[in-house]
Amino acid sequence: MAQRDPDCLFCKIVAGEVPAEIVREGERTIAFRDINPQAPTHVLVIPRDHVPNVGTAARAGAGLVDAIAAEAAEVAAAEGIGDAYRMVFNTGSGAGQTVFHVHAHVLGGRGMEWPPG
């Protein structure tokens, strides 16, 4: 049984309770378009299980961060941006995380400036 937080927006998307434009589904992950895109391609990759942030996912040692990163690469290929994409994890409210379910932003389709904002 998957770990789920009944108050989590992303858990509700995984369960099909909240609509999202799904672009890929894997055994451990799901990818969908961001509702407020910051680039021509802006897809979120999340685990099906509820994990609050990337640090917690990494410490769990179950290969979840690897699964998210691998799915991000598949999304980039499917979206036609190949190996020219940015993958971002915001961890904590001070870093801009607004949904506390780990998610990678896959951004591409335009030049990415450095340093980011």
Q: What pLDDT is attached to residue 115?
A: 85
103 is catalytic: yes
Q: Give pLDDT, residue 2.
A: 66
The residue type at 89: F
**Residue 32 near residue 13, CB atoms below 8 Å:** yes
Residue 112 has pLDDT above 80, yes or no: yes
CA distance 77 to 27: 18
pLDDT digits (tens, 9 = 90+) for 61-88: 899 999 999 999 999 999 999 999 999 9
Q: Look at residue 116 and tell me whether its pLDDT is greater than 90.
A: no
Q: What is the pLDDT of residue 1?
A: 47
Prior bond to 115 cis, omega within 30?
Answer: yes
Q: Is 74 helix (H, G, I), strand (E, B) or coil?
A: helix
The pLDDT of residue 40: 97
* Edge-first strand listing for the sheet containing 41-47: 22-25, 29-33, 41-47, 104-108, 85-88
Segment 26-57, tens digit of pLDDT: 999 999 999 999 999 999 999 999 999 999 99
User: Residue range 2-30: average pLDDT?
Assistant: 95
Q: Which of 42, 50, 101, 103 is catalytic?
A: 103
Distance of alpha carbon 106 from alpha carbon 41, whole angstroms:
7
CA dist list (Å): 68 to 6, 9, 17: 22, 18, 22
Please tell me the predicted confidence (pLDDT) of residue 117: 62
The answer to whether residue 91 scores a pLDDT higher than 70 is yes
The pLDDT of residue 51 is: 96
